[in-house]
Structure 1
Amino acid sequence: MKIAIGCDEAAYSLKVEIMEHLKKKEEIKYKDFGAAQGEVVLYPDIAYAVADAVAAGEYERGILVCGTGIGMAICANKVPGIRAAVCHDPFSAERSRKSNNAQIMCMGERVIGVELAKYLVDIWLGCDFAGGGSAPKVQRIEELERQHFIHAR
């Protein structure tokens, strides 16, 4: 699996910890989209770059971290075809994949600790979309998104 990962300066330490965790998994390859240590960035730029790469099919999933995870999720969800979710607990991490088919997980360094973040990454990476009763809901999200972007142009 190929993962795109990015952060702003508020979550650089957490991103590094997650990348170290991913290095131990032979089946996972990742690319760091920034920010670099000490670099001050606008998190929307990082979120957009990761979400755009996932939407283009260059990466299967993405992980975004900032102070709270909220801003990254908001921005990533602006990219057509992307479903990004803030995951700060095991149930949300699981359901974001199984029920919502989210391709991007967002977390906040100021909200959760390193060990919980690694645990949530493992849960999230281990889950696939379950379909079933959630399939029509995700399909409807996609239909509404297409309608909006057609009218917005």
Structure 2
Amino acid sequence: MKIAIGCDHGGYELKEKIKKYISEELHMEYDDLGTYNKERCDYPDYAFLVSHAVATKKCDFGIMIDGAGIGSSMMANKVPGVLAACANEIYTARNSRHHNGANVLTLGSMVVGEGVAKEIVKIFLTTKFEGERNIKRINSILDIEKRLLDCRRR
């Protein structure tokens, strides 16, 4: 399993810790898509890179870290095929995967500490999508997405 990971300047320190955790504790690969320092930058640029890597199947899942996690979630959900969830606590992380089939996790470095963030990442990456009754709902979301994209092409 390969994880796309990115951040803005506010999420840089937590991203570095999460990368190490993914590699050393979860034994998964990651692709660090930036930013690579604490210099001020804009989260939409990196949220797009992470989401695009997932949408094009270069990576199985994505993790994007900014100050609150909300802005990156909004950006990620603009990318066709991405189902992003802002999960700054464990219940939402589990539910977003189990019931909603989320493929991108966004986290707020100003909302969660390192320990909770690691637990959220672990739960997000290891929880299986249950499918069954929820697949109809996911397909509805993807169908609406497709119809909106078709309208834009006209």
Shorter-chain TM-score: what band? over 0.9
Name 2:152's counterpart in structure 1. 152
Aligned 1:21-40 pairs, distance under 5 A: 21-25=21-25, 27-40=27-40
Q: Residue deviations 1:57-83, cap 9 Å, x none?
A: 100000000000001000000000100
Q: CA deviation at 1:26?
A: 6.1
Which moved further from structure 2: 37-46 or 6-15?
A: 37-46
The CA distance in 1 between the partners of 2:85 and 2:26, in whole Å, is: 25
In the alignment, structure 1 residue 115 sits paired with structure 2 residue 115:
yes
Gapped regions of structure 1 (runs ≥ 5):
none
Cα distance in 1, alignment partners of residues 151 and 133 from structure 2? 29
Distance 1:90 1:38 in 2: 27
In the aligned structure 2, how far is the partner of 1:149 from the partner of 1:40? 32
Partner of 1:79: 79
Q: What is the letter of the counterpart of residue 109 of structure 1? A: S
The structure 1 segments of at least 4 consecutive aligned residues displaced by more than 2 Å after TM superposition are: none
After superposition, the CA RMSD in angstroms is: 1.0
Residue aligning to 1:63: 63
CA-to-aligned-CA distance 1:21-76 (integer Å, 9 cap, x gap): 11214641001111111332211010001101110010000000000000100000
Q: Aligned equivalents of 2:26 and 2:83: distance in 1?
A: 26
Shift in Å, 1:89: 1.2
Q: More deviation in 61-70 or 30-39?
A: 30-39
In structure 2, list runs of 5 or more residues that go unmatched: none
2:141 match: 141
Q: Identify the residue that residue 45 of structure 1 maps to in structure 2.
A: 45
CA distance in 2, matches of 1:15, 1:27: 16
Output the CA distance in 2 between the equivalents of 1:133 and 1:119. 27
Paired residue type of 1:98: H
Identity of aligned residues (%): 37
SS of residue matched to 2:62 = strand
Taking structure 2 as the reference length, what is the TM-score of the superposition? 0.96
Q: Is 1:99 aligned to 2:62, yes or no?
A: no
Give the secondary-structure state (helix, strand or coil) at the position aligned to 1:85.
Answer: strand
CA distance in 1: counterparts of 2:33 and 2:40, whole angstroms: 14
Structure 1 residue 125, shift from structure 2 partner: 0.9
Matched length: 153
